[in-house]
Amino acid sequence: MDFLQNHIEALIFCSPTPIKLADIKACLSEMFGADVPEEDIQNAIIRVEEKFQAEEFSFQLFKAAGGYQFLTKPAYQASISILLKQQSKKRLSTSAMETLSIVAYKQPISKTEIENIRGVNCDYAIQKLLDKGLVEIKGKSESVGRPMLYGTTQKFMEYFGINDLVELPTPKDFTNETNVIGENIDLKEPDAQA
C-alpha cells in the first residue's frame, strides 16, 4: 500500500479544477509536518496515472491547465451524455422555482394565494413540485372553500442543503428609488471657492 500515492490520489479526486504540483506539495507538507520531495510526488503521480490506465477503471488521470485531474475515458462518453440529458430534464423550471420559493417563504399557503402572488395559474408547477416530493399538502385552510395548504418537505431541505427553514436566505430590502433617463437627480454642487 502506497501511503503517499493514496493521499495524492485523494487530493486530485476532490479538487474541482486541475490541481497543480505545487498545491499537492503544499497540502502534503502541511499534513505530514515535513517537506515532501517533489520527485517523490511526481513518481507517485506516475503510479496513479499507470493505475488508472487499466481497463477496469472508467476514468483516468489527465494533465490539464498545468495540473492534474480525473476525467472519464472517451469510451464512456455516450452513457455520460445520456445521464446529463436525463438530469437536465429533472431540473426545476423557472415557474416551478418561483412557486417553490413562494411556498417555502409563505407556508402553509393555498394555491390561490400562490397564484395571487405570481399572477398566473400554478396548477402545473404545484403538480410537478408534488411529483418531485419537494412540496406536500399540509392540511386545509379554514377559509371559504377550505382550499388545500402546501408546504415544503424534508426532501426540499435535502435538495437545497439546509437543515431548517430559518436557514433560507432573507429577502433583501429593495429601495423604491427609480431613475428615469433624462430625469434630473439632486446632486450636491461642488463647493465654489471664492
Q: Among 31, 47, 76, which residue terminates a domain?
A: 76
190 within domain boundaries: no
102 within domain boundaries: yes
137 within domain boundaries: yes
Opening angle at CA 183, ends 182 and 185, nearest 5: 125
Q: What is the CATH number of the domain that holds 101?
A: 1.10.10.10
Strand partners, 91: none
Instruction: Supply the range of the domain harboring residue 56.
Output: 3-76
Determine contact, residues 8/28, Cβ cutoff 8 Å: yes
Determine contact, residues 138/149, Cβ cutoff 8 Å: yes
pLDDT score at 143: 87
Same domain for 102 and 67, yes or no, is: no
3-state secondary structure of 108: coil
Place of cell 392540511: 139
pLDDT score at 194: 45
Same domain for 115 and 155, yes or no, is: yes
Total count of domains within the chain: 2
Strand partners, 61: 70
pLDDT score at 88: 63
Opening angle at CA 22, ends 17 and 27, nearest 5: 80
Determine contact, residues 93/125, Cβ cutoff 8 Å: yes
pLDDT score at 129: 93
pLDDT score at 89: 64
Q: Which of 142, 144, 166, 165 is nearest to 153 (CA)?
A: 165
State the pTM of this model.
0.48
Helices (H), 18-93: 21-32, 38-51, 77-90
174 within domain boundaries: no
Sign of the four-CA dihedral 58, 62, 68, 72? negative
Question: Would you give per-residue pLDDT tens digits along the chain (194 residues)?
Answer: 588 999 999 999 999 889 999 999 999 999 989 999 999 999 999 999 999 999 999 999 998 888 999 989 989 988 988 887 776 666 788 899 999 999 999 999 999 999 999 999 999 999 999 988 899 999 998 888 899 999 999 888 887 778 888 888 876 643 445 545 555 555 444 554 54
Residue 151 C-alpha cell reads as 408546504
